[in-house]
Amino acid sequence: MQLSTLLDCDLIAFEQADEITLLVELNAPTPPTASVRQPATLQVVLDRSGSMGGARLEGAKAALIALVDRLDPTDNLGIVAFDNEVKIVVPSGPLNNKVAVKQSIAAIHSGGSTDLSAGYFRGLQEARRVAGPSGATVLLVSDGHANAGVTDPDQLGGVAAEVNTQGVTTSTLGFGLGYDERLLAALAKGGAGNELFAEEADTAVALISGEVDGLLTQVAQAASLRITWTTHVASVQVLNDLPVAGLPDGLMLELGSFYAGETRRLLVKLQVPGIAALGLSQVATLEFTHVSLPDVVQHTATLPISVNVVPGDEAAGRIPDPEVRSEALFQQTQQAKRESSRLLSAGQAVEAARLMQTTSSMLRHESAYLPRQMTVELMKEADLMDSLADESTFDSVRAAKASSYDATMKSRNRGRQSRGGGFILRWVLPGTANGSTLGLEEWELQRLLRVLPAELHDALRVTGSGIRDKALAKTVADRLSEGHPAYGFFDGAASHGGFTVDRA
């Protein structure tokens, strides 16, 4: 694991209050393909309440049966199903008899109400019972609001945070539009895991598969970053949406696990009331700790953070680092998404849409002062905020879940690629490698499908199945305004041989 930092300004004025922003980048290695991994432990907690009946439950069962074949016999798998009661479908342990495990999964049927906490607590017990040196991952799949047992998001998030200190990660998959995004978000945040969102069974299957991909490529567990500041700093703010614990001399950030080749980014603001000495001054110390896999060895790297205190006239000419500034704008946008999701969940759709539109305008304005290569991602975020604002007026439930999910992936797990939850559309100029791609999350695809006749939906929703012809691309382009973020892609595909659809 590699740790590097970048300050927006490494010069501050003598005896003057200031604010500095620190960008922390963490790079996980890519081990040789021949390396032997530690046995993995995956504990699934599956909602089988009445609302999960039909395609949702069948889709989840199909995904679980498929993942059995992807795990080694030495890996631990456990499955707990819950409605108003909890049932151990597969006791957590090595996959010595995959046929029997598949048969047990296939026999799961829907039941009554939703006692989510009972299922989750029992799943935690099973995970902790068999977890090895590489820890365990609990994946909770639910489509409904908890209506029995413990239902308070903060309380359940606290439980997830506690067991995370013991090596158990909690990820959640919200299925459909009826689940409580506040509760599942709290569990995922406390458990330092992924917060996933699927409307349809095919997407849920792909996301569960992606979660297993991540589990099987983990190169670090129990990662944390301790920030200790000196007397020169009055306070510290972490911009990423991470579990943060206060310490007598600083903060502890829980980062969870790292996948092979993953690059994560964190942003921290430090308030400096004024330093009464010229020259180099240390303002903080970073201490990054993780357990590497497969050797299960704990490592700690320490890095001091210093600034150069100069006379006020010299500091006045400083230019903030554009990379740190662009990352600050990016994380400010994720905070706006999280707040918008909260407003939408509270029934305040007008206020949420206004916040999204204001954030989009801010991004477009501030990007004018950044190098062109740093504005591409921010402009995509501005377009996305406009789309979410539009969706919030049409379907506030979907917009709340999409905002929460997107903010989590781009803030808490900044740099981690989503696995399976989206779609990638491509067209290529014949005989060349040139063309265009369009990435869509499932909710964005659903939004796009609203403008198309029902008979064309499967052509966009079903992945694979060869090339969609130019006529379909033209039909889609004709239904979109030229200002729509997807218009350019479909207009190009209509002129250059059609397009393909695959899972992202």
What is the mean pLDDT for each group of 10 consecutive residues in the chain (504 residues)?
A: 93 91 93 76 91 84 89 93 92 94 93 85 94 88 78 90 90 89 91 89 86 87 93 92 89 91 93 90 95 90 94 86 95 96 94 97 94 92 94 93 92 78 86 83 90 88 85 91 87 90 88
Query: Do 13 and 66 have their domain in common?
Result: no
Q: What span, in angstroms and rounded, lies between the C-alpha atoms of 488 and 484?
A: 8
What pLDDT score does 34 carry?
58
Residue ending a domain, choose from 284, 315, 346: 315
- Show the CA angle centred on residue 82, arms to residues 409 and 59, nearest 5°: 60
- Give exposure, 331-364, as e/b (b: 16+ Cβ within 10 Å): bbbbebbbbbbbbbbeebbeebbebbbebbebbb
Other C-beta atoms closer than 10 Å to the C-beta of 78 total 25
Residues 212 and 223 occupy one common structural domain: no
Residue tagged 């905020």 (tokens): 385
Would you say residue 246 lies in a domain?
A: yes
The answer to whether residues 132 and 16 belong to one domain is no
User: Is the domain of 378 the same as that of 494?
Assistant: no
What pLDDT is recorded for position 463? 85
Which of 289, 315, 341 is the last residue in one of the domains? 315
Looking at the 3D structure of the chain, how many domains does it have?
4
The whole-number pLDDT of residue 115 equals 84
Domain assignment of residue 110, yes or no: yes
Residue showing tokens 């995509």: 380
Asked whether residue 354 falls in the same domain as residue 485, the answer is no
d(CA 40, CA 51): 31
Tell me, yes or no, whether 344 and 451 share the same domain: no
Looking at the fold, whether 205 and 233 belong to one and the same domain comes out as: no
Q: Provide the CATH number for the domain around residue 247.
A: 2.60.40.740
If you count them, how many residues does the chain have?
504
346 and 391 in one domain?
yes
In a domain, 131, yes or no: yes
In angstroms, the Cα distances linking 123 to 127, 129, 141, 148 are 6, 10, 12, 17
**Final residue of a structural domain among 411, 436, 452:** 411
Do 349 and 380 reside in the same domain of the chain? Answer: yes
| Residue 32 placed within a domain | no
Are 294 and 194 in a shared domain? Answer: no
**Closest by Cα among 27, 60, 139, 53 to 92:** 139
Asked whether the beta carbons of 374 and 409 are under 8 A apart, the reply is no
Q: Residues 20, 147: one domain? A: no
Q: Which domain holds residue 473?
A: 422-503
Q: Do 292 and 333 have their domain in common?
A: no
